[in-house]
């Protein structure tokens, strides 16, 4: 078994992003981080082959000090490592009854027909029976593994799970697989079920689908089982681009997150809460002016952490990751978290917040890639929601013009004394350009080399954000 021991170094603020520290060196991005609380180990799966110089193919576990290989990894053929071995599409990993399970979109693992559902027997990965299959006999896809009430659930796109008819969601009690209350047939290439949850005496499934009948009404992307049938959840999450990525329970409500926008008719931006009777927009939600796509949401120490394509949270500038305390959205820490790439997973491990995903730098720090730990202060600012924002930017102090812009952007400062920074960020929150100015008057930023598109102009003094404004660059 290959292992890699990690020494986490806390660098000075001049060499590293102040709020984040590296955990390990992955050579590719991670999709999911899963905390096995019983054994206190953290599992990662994704598109990587090397961890801290050691071969670990697409799955690894970490005890806080050491990363360990699990078998030969999740690969098509263990006998031909490290030759090519095209990446296997692994979507999730979990530990159930002391056995590691994984799912995704793959036909064979270690030379065995596996059909997207496998488990680790202590020495190697093996198929779980017939796996996930469509009616046609083609292998299906697994998106999520989840444990509820000591039963293992798999969600995805399939007609059968280990030979049992199950429309894209099935469960395992440790002995047999079965369908879940005859879930409706909504499987197709682009219509997956992404998650399942039990809330307020009902079962909920969510994903990317649309169903309609004359009795239950439109079923956009989310359904509930009332004990007799699957029905609509007050119209669901409407919009052809909308989708549910997952569920989380918080504050006595079912939080639903994914790609959604109130402008599409959805009940929230990126996230919405269902109390059993009606929807709530969770303080205005999470926005990026494109599709408000939230990839993960986790409750940690009484607060909700959300990540994905985020620029604003309840009106507060909070790129990539935001925190909800039940009343207000906050940016994480006192320094803005500009990640180059997305955070796909958030998890608490050994009293620390670990994020992972497709990012390859944070605040221009290229040493932090694909996985990072939060080392910032236990302070969340600025905070606010869509109707009441603390620390409001002084909009009267600055005028940013023209907009759209061609080559030069003018920043007129009418009242702010001292030195301040003007930064240009792209649509993902990545820092593109940064300049320092001083004094009252009109200052000019040269954007001649900037490609056309949507950007954000951020003015800061020290660690305080003064104003953020969207600007459009034209040729």
Cβ neighbours around 159 below 10 Å, total: 18
pLDDT of residue 428: 66
User: What kind of fold does domain 398-473 have according to CATH?
Assistant: Immunoglobulin-like (2.60.40)
pLDDT of residue 172: 98
Block mean pLDDT (10 aa), the chain, length 475: 39 51 91 94 94 92 95 81 68 97 92 94 95 93 96 96 94 96 67 94 92 59 91 88 95 96 92 96 87 92 92 84 92 69 93 91 78 81 57 61 89 86 80 89 91 83 74 83
Q: Looking at the structure, give the CATH architecture of the domain made up of residues 3-384.
A: 7 Propeller (2.130)
Distance, CA of 231 to CA of 182 (rounded, Å): 12
Chain segment 108-131, per-residue pLDDT in tens = 888 889 999 999 999 999 999 999
pLDDT of residue 2: 43
Query: Considering only CA atoms, which of 314, 281, 444 is closest in space to residue 389?
Result: 314
pLDDT of residue 201: 94
Please state whether the predicted TM-score (pTM) of the whole model is above 0.85. no
Residue 259: partners with Cβ closer than 8 Å, 6 or more residues away? 241, 242, 243, 245, 270, 291, 292, 293, 294
CB 296 within 8 A of CB 322: no
pLDDT of residue 211: 67
Distance, CA of 381 to CA of 53 (rounded, Å): 38
Two tokens, residue 378? 């236990």
pLDDT of residue 158: 93
The burial of 299, by beta-carbon neighbours within 10 Å (0-12 exposed, 13-18 middle, 19 or more buried), is given as middle
Residue with the two structure tokens 């919405």 = 272
pLDDT of residue 317: 81
In the chain, where are the structural domains located? 3-384, 398-473
Residue 98: partners with Cβ closer than 8 Å, 6 or more residues away? none
CB 262 within 8 A of CB 269: yes
Residues, the chain: 475
pLDDT of residue 399: 86
Two tokens, residue 65? 């000090």
CA distances for 252 relative to 244, 257, 273, 276, 297, angstroms: 19, 16, 10, 10, 15
CB 116 within 8 A of CB 91: no
The burial of 132, by beta-carbon neighbours within 10 Å (0-12 exposed, 13-18 middle, 19 or more buried), is given as buried
The burial of 437, by beta-carbon neighbours within 10 Å (0-12 exposed, 13-18 middle, 19 or more buried), is given as middle
């Amino acid at each position: 078994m290959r292992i890699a021991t990690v020494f986490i170094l806390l660098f000075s603020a001049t060499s590293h992003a102040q709020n984040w520290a590296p955990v390990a060196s992955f050579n590719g991005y991670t999709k999911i981080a899963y905390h096995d609380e019983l054994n206190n180990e953290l599992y990662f799966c994704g598109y990587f082959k090397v961890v801290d110089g050691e071969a670990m193919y697409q799955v690894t576990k970490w005890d806080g000090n050491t990363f360990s290989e699990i078998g030969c990894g999740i690969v098509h053929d263990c006998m031909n490592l490290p030759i090519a071995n095209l990446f296997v599409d692994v979507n999730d990993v979990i530990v159930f009854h002391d056995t590691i399970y994984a799912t995704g979109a793959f036909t064979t693992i270690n030379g065995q027909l596996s059909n997207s559902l496998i488990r680790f027997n202590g020495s190697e990965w093996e198929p779980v029976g017939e796996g996930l299959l469509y009616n046609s006999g083609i292998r299906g896809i697994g998106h999520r593994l989840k444990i509820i009430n000591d039963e293992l659930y798999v969600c995805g796109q399939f007609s059968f799970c280990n030979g049992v008819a199950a429309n894209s969601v099935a469960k395992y009690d440790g002995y047999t697989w079965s369908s879940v209350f005859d879930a409706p047939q909504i499987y197709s290439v682009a219509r997956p079920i992404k998650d399942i949850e039990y809330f307020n005496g009902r079962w909920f499934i969510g994903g990317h689908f649309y169903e309609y009948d004359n009795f239950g009404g439109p079923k956009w992307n989310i359904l509930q089982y009332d004990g007799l049938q699957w029905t609509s959840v007050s119209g669901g999450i409407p919009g052809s681009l909308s989708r549910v990525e997952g569920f989380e329970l918080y504050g006595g409500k079912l939080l639903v997150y994914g790609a959604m926008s109130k402008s599409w008719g959805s009940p929230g931006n990126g996230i919405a809460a269902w109390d059993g009777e009606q929807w709530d927009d969770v303080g205005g939600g999470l926005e990026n002016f494109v599709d408000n796509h939230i990839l993960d949401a986790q409750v940690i120490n009484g607060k909700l952490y959300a990540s994905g394509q985020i620029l604003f949270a309840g009106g507060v500038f909070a790129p990539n990751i935001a925190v909800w305390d039940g009343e207000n959205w906050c940016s994480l820490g006192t320094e803005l978290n500009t990640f180059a790439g997305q955070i796909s997973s958030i998890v608490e491990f050994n009293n620390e917040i670990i994020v992972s995903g497709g990012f390859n730098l944070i605040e221009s720090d290229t040493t932090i890639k694909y996985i990072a730990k939060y080392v910032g202060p236990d302070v969340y600012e600025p905070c606010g929601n869509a109707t009441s924002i603390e620390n409001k930017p002084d909009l009267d102090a600055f005028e940013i013009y023209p907009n759209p812009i061609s080559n030069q952007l003018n920043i007129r400062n009418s009242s702010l004394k001292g030195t301040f920074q003007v930064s240009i960020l792209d649509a993902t929150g990545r820092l593109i350009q940064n300049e320092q100015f001083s004094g009252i008057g009109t200052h000019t930023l040269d954007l001649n080399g900037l490609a056309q598109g949507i950007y954000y102009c951020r003015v800061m003094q020290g660690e305080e954000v003064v104003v953020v404004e969207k600007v459009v660059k034209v040729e």
